[in-house]
Amino acid sequence: MSILPITVCGDKILRKKAAKVTEIDDKIIKIISDMFETMRNASGIGLAANQIGVNRQIFVVDISPVEGYEKYKPLALINPKIISKSEETSSFEEGCLSIPDLRADIIRPKGIYIQYFDANMKEHTIEADDLLARVMQHEFDHLQGVLFIDYLDEESQKRYKKHLSKIKKRKLEINYPISPNPDYLLIK
Ligand code: ZN
């Protein structure tokens, strides 16, 4: 397993819709284990493949480090599809490893049904609620090229402009490795 650099806002791959995984080979298995290690090294609870420069529909989640969620198992989701969302919404302060040092309250559906394939290409459909649903929606968005800051109103976007430009210019001190430039790609 290796810790890989994390792509940051401004990187082109974060704005691309990720390609479907068609076959699970050793490369994909290695990517998944690297994603877990990279996420944990950065103290994250979710990570999408394009955050390590891989243009594939894969994300990992592990919310067990969060108090009250210790029993939740880590999951790798391949080709995920959100089947339905609850009408009930909730607000939660989100952050993102690709947008360091920025947190903002985002409103999202409180629960979802999500379909995905595991590393054995076995299909699953699960119901996720609260924090798990939150993380999964955030990571699912990544695979569509969407970042949580896209949900902010114009005023907040303006307020964070300077901070974002600092990240883009790599002038922020970040305690985990980040991509060297906006064109960074590990696997196209
Ligand atoms: Zn994120």
pLDDT of residue 188: 85
Averaged pLDDT for residues 60-84 = 98
Q: pLDDT tens, 48-57? A: 999 999 999 9
What single string gives the DSSP state of each residue in 75-132?
EEEEEEEEEEE-S-EEEEEE--TTSTT--EEEEEESEEEEEEE-TT--EEEEEEEHHH
Q: Which amino acid is at 65?
A: P
Q: Which helix (H) or strand (E) holds 60?
A: strand 58-61
Q: Are strands 123-129 and 111-117 parallel, antiparallel or unpaired?
A: antiparallel
* Domain limits, the chain: 12-168
Bridge partners, residue 94, by sequence? 104
- CATH placement of domain 12-168: 3.90.45.10
Strands (E), 13-88: 46-48, 58-61, 75-85
For the record, the structure tokens of 180 come out as 């060297």
Residues around ligand 1, an ion, CB closer than 5 A? 96
pLDDT of residue 1: 82
pLDDT of 30 higher than 90:
yes
Q: Which of 139, 154, 155, 173 is catalytic?
A: 139
Q: Is 139 a catalytic residue?
A: yes
Ligand 1 geometric centre to CA of 97 (Å): 6
pLDDT of 109 higher than 90:
yes
* Rounded Cα–Cα distance for residues 174 and 145 (Å): 23
Ligand 1 geometric centre to CA of 166 (Å): 17
Q: pLDDT tens, 111-155? A: 999 999 999 999 999 999 999 999 999 999 999 999 999 999 999
Ligand 1 geometric centre to CA of 25 (Å): 26
Other C-beta atoms lying within 10 Å of the C-beta of residue 87: 8
pLDDT of residue 85: 98
Find all residues with CB under 8 Å of 129, minimum gap 6, and list them. 110, 111
Task: Using the structure block, give the residue that is written with the tokens 């299909």.
Answer: 123
* Rounded Cα–Cα distance for residues 109 and 3 (Å): 32
* Rounded Cα–Cα distance for residues 63 and 75 (Å): 9
pLDDT of 65 higher than 90:
yes
Q: pLDDT tens, 82-94? A: 999 999 999 999 9
